[in-house]
Structure 1
């Protein structure tokens, strides 16, 4: 539990705007970067070979654009499990994700993880049910106290829903163990959260932006320019691998029983896996992962994955606007599976050469 009585007794609404810090820093490992890049098919060589990272101006491997989800997802689960205890993590749905990049995450980084409950919006009524929309802002800070990345996650928490005891028992037989912190345990979870006093929340400097080395020339683009189409296939093996690598415990991604209990036709791909695959589509065209400054997705659909057949995902993109003077562009991205849209919105902001 947080190490203040105030956090224990406060309601969720009382904690909006309050800052927390993950108890221990996160060491970014070289092999974890490679492992995650393989899981999301991020094939840019700077994620895999140090000499290619050096060509981009970095001394160690660059993490994939969605690598921070490994840290952010565990942090959000800890926040709900031990701080926002009015909610049940099993009754939450990830609906929106934004990453804002100051520089790439690098192998060897020691990252402090600061968390703030940015907002809680209530939606009540017969049409929508009783839901709270919770936005959590996670800032990753390096050893020089400079921000590296900001992750903004919105989840919807369903309230007042009675769970079928038989379904709960069934889910208990397939869920991954150890993914929810036990407040009664004597084990000190290094991912546990500490509530910060207002004077402990430091103002962070705005570091100089990373300079992309190899990327698309600004003078070759205009609003409406189409990116080449892309396509990948995902299998059950990809889903199981991603679940393990990312630490995502939701069994709807690997158990038919859990998927059916959730009202799904079959096992479905993780939304963050789909976002990671979209990042590879973007970076393959862009040429340099460090050129990405913002990547935002609103999840709207799912990718069903049958036991013995791969499911295709198709990608599209177009240029929304170009600022040739500053060498930047905004892009609109799309992903579909079996003709169904996966994103309600997917946009990226990039630097150009």
Structure 2
């Protein structure tokens, strides 16, 4: 019986469509928004001041673009414990955010979680998880697609698990719960008229209060370059704020066992920095309506010196009918491109 449960759990392709809704809501806190904005070095006043947010038409502080990645980590734990072995390492490769309604202080969010795709590449499972976030009014406010690759324990240094157990945060369960999850029967639920949420149109219909106006831009225009400094302290702070306790981001020995040249910045941290680079140029964080990133490299942060990431961007396309534009973002660290492809769809005044 145990063997059949394990086989079912690791047949990831057979679990496509596995779906559930989180049992409890996540309440957006004023200080948590500020805390996260500080972690991704986003100083836009609308994340910090109610007066500044109100001037842009928001009823409270607005969360930075990538904030809900932290909520998704909590919501997705059950799914990952079901389809990934405790000996596997999960590495993020792609992330897409679709914004339908600004996330504000006091919002209460639940998440539908679904395994939407499994691809087999080079003997590794490439999993795509979709989070649909729904607020207290029943509106779908954001949809997030996260793609990760599961690297099996056999491909990782044998000492890694033991080292991680020595340094990981106390109270964080790193053991596999695969059999327990499989024994639950893996119910696949489909939303019906009572549970399906309506897709909010707020982000696509509200009047944006951007500092940049549509008639002032053209294809090929470049955004002002921004260079961000990163220290080990920044990585530790982001780990605590986001809940991403992976020690490759703060512990030299674990990073070395993972085959990395040194400790590296979180993928989501680099994405958060890049999103702030765009919204800072826009002047209105709620005017970014889609954000997609494919990670191709990492930013190394050494112990005895700060690392840095340089962000540049240019207008790739414009749509006069909707006053929208697509911005291509380039992130470089130590001369290497961190993003394989990164784009932001924005609405302009």
Q: TM-score of the superposition, structure 2-length normalised?
A: 0.89
C-alpha distance in 1, partners of 2:7/2:170? 25
What SS does the corresponding residue of 1:120 show, helix, strand or coil?
A: strand
Instruction: Give unmatched runs, 5+ long, in structure 2.
Output: 178-183
Q: For the Cα contact (< 8 Å) 1:215–1:291, is it kept in 2?
A: no
Question: Which residue of structure 2 aligns with residue 40 of structure 1?
Answer: 40
**Alignment CA distance shift 1:157-1:166 (3 Å):** closer
Give distance in 2, aligned partners of 1:261 and 1:219. 52
Residues 1:108 and 2:101 are matched in the alignment: no
1:264 shift after superposition: 1.0
Structure 1 residue 269: Cα displacement: 0.6
Greater shift in the superposed pair: 194-203 or 152-161: 194-203
The Cα offsets for residues 199-237 of structure 1, whole Å up to 9 and x where unpaired, read as 557333232233222341111111111111111110000
Query: Partner residue of 1:146?
Result: 139
Q: Counterpart in 2 of 1:209?
A: 202
- Aligned-partner SS, 2:229: strand
Q: Quote how far apart the aligned CAs of 1:84 are.
A: 1.5
Tell me, in whole angstroms, the C-alpha distance in 2 between the residues paired with 1:150 and 1:285.
24
Instruction: Kindly indicate whether residue 348 of structure 2 is the aligned counterpart of residue 352 of structure 1.
Output: yes
Q: 1:153 to 1:339 in 2, by over 3 A?
A: same
In the alignment, does 2:55 pair up with 1:63?
no
Output one character per residue of 1:262-321: Cα deviation in whole Å (capped at 9) or x when no partner: 111111110110111111111111110010000010011111111121112101100011
Q: Note the C-alpha offset of 1:162.
A: 5.7
- Structure 1 runs, 4 residues or longer, greater than 4 Å off: 6-11, 162-165, 181-184
Distance 1:73 1:182, change over 3 A: same
Cα–Cα, structure 1 residues 335 and 165, in superposed 2: closer, same or farther, change >3 Å? closer
1:60 to partner: Cα distance: 0.9
TM-score (structure 1 length as normaliser): 0.88
Match in the other structure for 1:227? 223
Contact 1:80 1:89 in 2 (8 A): no
In structure 2, the CA distance between the partners of 1:291 and 1:162, relative to structure 1 (3 Å rule), is closer
Q: Which residue pairs with 1:302 in the alignment? A: 298
- Number of residue equivalences: 334
* Residue of structure 2 in register with 1:255 after alignment: 251
Change (3 A) 1:341 1:196: same
* Greater mean deviation of Cα atoms: 194-203 or 172-181: 194-203
Could you say which residue in structure 1 is the equivalent of 2:236? 240
Structure 1: give runs of 5+ residues left out of the alignment: 1-5, 185-191
| In 2, Cα distance between equivalents of 1:181 and 1:113 | 23
Residues 313 and 335, structure 1, Cα contact 8 Å, conserved in 2 = yes
Query: 1:293·1:349 contact (CA, 8 Å) conserved in 2?
Result: yes
Distance 1:160 1:166, change over 3 A: closer
Change over 3 Å in CA distance of 1:89–1:50 after alignment to 2: farther
How has the CA–CA distance of structure 1 residues 346 and 299 changed in structure 2, closer, same or farther, with 3 Å as cutoff? same
Q: What is the Cα deviation at residue 56 of structure 1? A: 1.3
Name the structure 2 match of 1:188: none
The C-alpha deviation readout for 1:81-103, integer Å capped at 9, x for no partner, is 1x224x34742110001100002
SS of residue paired to 2:34: helix
- Root-mean-square deviation over aligned CA pairs: 2.4
